[in-house]
Amino acid sequence: MHQPTPRTTAAPRLYAGVDIGGTKVAVCLARAGEGGDPPAILTRVAAPTVKSGPVDALAQQVLALLQQACAEQQVQRADLAGVGVSSCGPFVRRAGAIEVANPNICGGLAGSGGGPQSNDWTQVPLQAPLAQALAGVPLRIANDAVAALEAERRWGALGGVQDCAYVTWSTGVGVGLCVDGRVLAGKNGNAGHAGHSFVGDVPGHMGAAAPLCGCGNRGDVESLAGGGSLADWLGQDAPTLLAAAQQGDPEALARVQLLCTLMGRLLYNLVATLDLARISLGGSVFLHHQALLLPLLRRELARHFAALTRGVELVPAGLGHDVGDYAALALLPSR
């Protein structure tokens, strides 16, 4: 008598999330969540962002970390169901492929004024080398703040909100924007680069000129409030300054209030331009010190034109410190 072939249950396919920042690169592998839940992260590996060597060093670092994560789960890169890449920008395109021109990675962007990095890169390839190495595995790349916005709308603090933004306050400052339920991208995927908008001509530490952003600007949000700029501008790095402020040091508190005034201008400009209902805040500077910073930012936003700001919610990222991992995974279909 014919015996039926036993049914086998295929192992769930894994997705990879790549989070590229100015400080670190992280890669995770995850299974799709069930019933609308976020993906279940199985493995995460990370390393400081490479900023020296050949111009494709960043892409090669991503591939090496991806290989390490796959080895830990005993899978091959070719077997992945998809790879989502959430990367700091701005992006430029060469032959249609995304390259990264980020001031915290590319030292050549500030010109003769000298940027924070010692390399002379002005843009580094990302999409082309990844697509070639992944050989047909679905690949999607988006700006990290836009990807985090997608994650916060799917699994975090922005669910069901049609007019919203995600703002990251970290090494740099970035924004993802959603208006009328549509996530904004722009011609090169750079919509939301409000960290490079101008908020004030503020002198630097000990009377020096306003700090130079790695992009070449002076007086933009990132050069004045980004965590990577504070040591040169205010004479203290972000952890030291914010720890002193939390302990009640008057000078540190005054400096933190200035930072929140500048960030508050950015938040107000976003609300006034896009008529937002809620803004989710993330990034290492904010999340590590949200008890201090959130009330100051809320108060700063409320100082401006009440007809536009009344009722606007400022909330911590619902995904907390994991928003970077979920941002990359939010770029992929979850099934």
Q: Tally Cβ neighbours within 10 Å of residue 233.
A: 21
Question: CA quadruple 19, 256, 238, 58: dihedral positive or negative?
Answer: positive
Instruction: Report the pLDDT value the prediction gives residue 234, as an integer from 0 to 100.
Output: 87
Phi first, then psi: give them for residue 241, nearest 5 degrees.
Answer: -60, -50
Task: Name all domains of the chain by residue range, CATH numbers in brackets.
Answer: 14-145+324-329 (3.30.420.40), 159-317 (3.30.420.40)
Point out the residues of the chain with pLDDT beneath 70: 1-12, 111-117, 201-209, 334-335
Instruction: Report the pLDDT value the prediction gives residue 118, as an integer from 0 to 100.
Output: 77
**Alpha-carbon distances, residue 288 vs 87, 94, 150, 242, 262 (angstroms):** 21, 37, 22, 9, 19
Q: Tally Cβ neighbours within 10 Å of residue 184.
A: 17
Axis crossing angle, helix 57-73 with helix 127-134, rounded to the nearest 10 = 30
Instruction: Report the pLDDT value the prediction gives residue 156, as an integer from 0 to 100.
Output: 97
Instruction: Report the pLDDT value the prediction gives residue 98, as an integer from 0 to 100.
Output: 97
What whole-number distance in Å separates Cα of residue 73 and Cα of residue 40?
13
- Locate tokens 């990095």: which residue? 117
**Three-state DSSP class for residue 104:** coil
